[in-house]
Amino acid sequence: MKEVTLNALAQELGLKAIGRGERTVSLVAAPGTANERTICPVWEERALPLVGKDVPILAPLALFEPGRDGIVSDRPREALPKLLAFFVPERPARRGVHPTAVVDPEASLDPDAWVGPHAVVGPKTVVEGGAEVGAGAFVGARCRVGARTILEPGAVLLDGVCVGRDCILHSGCVLGCDGFGFLPSPDGPVKIPQIGGVEIGDRVEIGACSTVDRGTMEDTVIGDGTKIDNHVQVGHNVRVGRGCILCSMSGIAGSSVLEDGVTLSVQAGITDHVTIGRGAVLAARTGVTNDVPAGAVLSGFPARPHQEAKRAMVLAADLPALFKRLRSLERRLEARSGERESLAEAKR
């Protein structure tokens, strides 16, 4: 467990301590669970009652009561990742090959790489310096694992998958499985061989149980800095740009393109052969069947502008009441129509 003074921690974050800068903290904690040995990030005044008076905080200056210790930040949300990173336990320095690992003689391992227990590394695969192939992970033939990239236990790279530097591939993710390609025929679906590969850029993170299919003829590509949540499906021939965010249970069908900075929220779905423009955001459960312009914010199925979809949802909730009113009006009109017919008959 790390112990650090507020002064030293503030210097590490490029910020300024306030109050007793010599006091030490050893952990980051949320409002409601923090104590005097932790530092608590606070960016809203309503959270202050949950934080004891003696708990140091990371917050804007306006939230510091008299006598409160802590670190001043105008943007505590932006400072939080660096604060948490300071307290992350250091990974043990490991290098070499565990005795139970299986490494093909044709594989090339940097002396500073690590291959863990029961892991497999196939022929003509390159594992660069500082990379880690965790316990039980599988790396097939003709792969590349970039410098300092981490394959957590049970991650799978099938043949022809190239992963850049400083990536994290979480347990159970599978890269390079066959794309879902079939042609209909009178005898049933005919499999289309998938002979492309997968190209993963630098600083990419892929969550547990997510899959990236190999391309049919060309590579499926994930751009630098993209982050993929757990249980995400990326189909064959898809091209995902730089800095995209793909949230859990979202899916991209074959040959679609996501330009840089696209966000897919939970359970968003994209059909095949469409393009999602730069910086577009798809809200949860959005279903896309056509191209999306850059910067658009869409929701619903079929996808439409988010504000329009919200209005439609509000109106849909009122439909039962509106239906009752409409039926009542119809009955009244029918009754009046009947009265007019009766009067007209009486006059005749």
For the chain, what percent of residues have pLDDT higher than 90? 84
Cα distance between residue 3 and residue 180, in whole Å:
51
- The angle at the Cα of 250, spanning 311 to 228, to the nearest 5 degrees, equals 125
Q: How confident is the model at residue 348 (pLDDT cuts 50, 70, 90)?
A: low
Residue 277 included in any domain:
yes
In this structure, the answer to whether residues 297 and 344 fall within a common structural domain is: no
Both tokens of 15, joined, read 């910020």
Helix axes 306-317, 319-347, angle to 10 degrees: 60
Nearest to 231 by CA among 207, 213, 264: 207
Cα distance between residue 331 and residue 116, in whole Å:
77
pLDDT, one tens digit per residue, over 83-98 is 999 999 888 888 999 9
Domain that holds residue 70: 4-87
Residue 162 included in any domain:
yes
In this structure, the answer to whether residues 165 and 264 fall within a common structural domain is: yes
Give how far Cα 103 sits from Cα of 115, 137, 146, 234, Å.
8, 12, 17, 29
Residue 315 included in any domain:
no
Residue 72 included in any domain:
yes
For the chain, what percent of residues have pLDDT higher than 70? 97
In this structure, the answer to whether residues 165 and 292 fall within a common structural domain is: yes
Give the end of a domain, one of 51, 70, 87: 87
In this structure, the answer to whether residues 233 and 284 fall within a common structural domain is: yes
| pLDDT at residue 343 is higher than 80 | no
Give the end of a domain, one of 32, 54, 87: 87
In this structure, the answer to whether residues 274 and 327 fall within a common structural domain is: no
Q: How confident is the model at residue 116 (pLDDT cuts 50, 70, 90)?
A: very high
Stated pTM of the model: 0.85
Number of domains the chain is built from: 3
pLDDT, one tens digit per residue, over 164-205 is 999 999 999 999 999 999 999 999 999 999 999 999 999 999
| pLDDT at residue 118 is higher than 90 | yes
In this structure, the answer to whether residues 112 and 189 fall within a common structural domain is: yes
According to DSSP, the β-strands at 304-305 and 297-299 are antiparallel
Q: Is 236 designated active site?
A: yes
Give the end of a domain, one of 41, 58, 87: 87
Cα distance between residue 49 and residue 187, in whole Å:
69
In this structure, the answer to whether residues 30 and 63 fall within a common structural domain is: yes
In this structure, the answer to whether residues 13 and 156 fall within a common structural domain is: no
In this structure, the answer to whether residues 107 and 30 fall within a common structural domain is: no
The CATH code of the domain that includes 205 is: 2.160.10.10
Residue 177 included in any domain:
yes
The pLDDT mean for the chain works out to: 93
In this structure, the answer to whether residues 178 and 275 fall within a common structural domain is: yes
User: Catalytic: which of 118, 236, 273, 306?
Assistant: 236
pLDDT, one tens digit per residue, over 2-51 is 899 999 999 999 999 999 999 999 999 999 999 999 999 999 999 999 99
Residue 302 included in any domain:
yes
Residue 24 included in any domain:
yes
Sheet holding 114-115, edge to edge: 96-97, 114-115, 132-133, 150-151, 168-169, 205-206, 227-228, 245-246, 263-264, 281-282, 297-299, 304-305
Residue 47 included in any domain:
yes
Cα distance between residue 287 and residue 302, in whole Å:
6
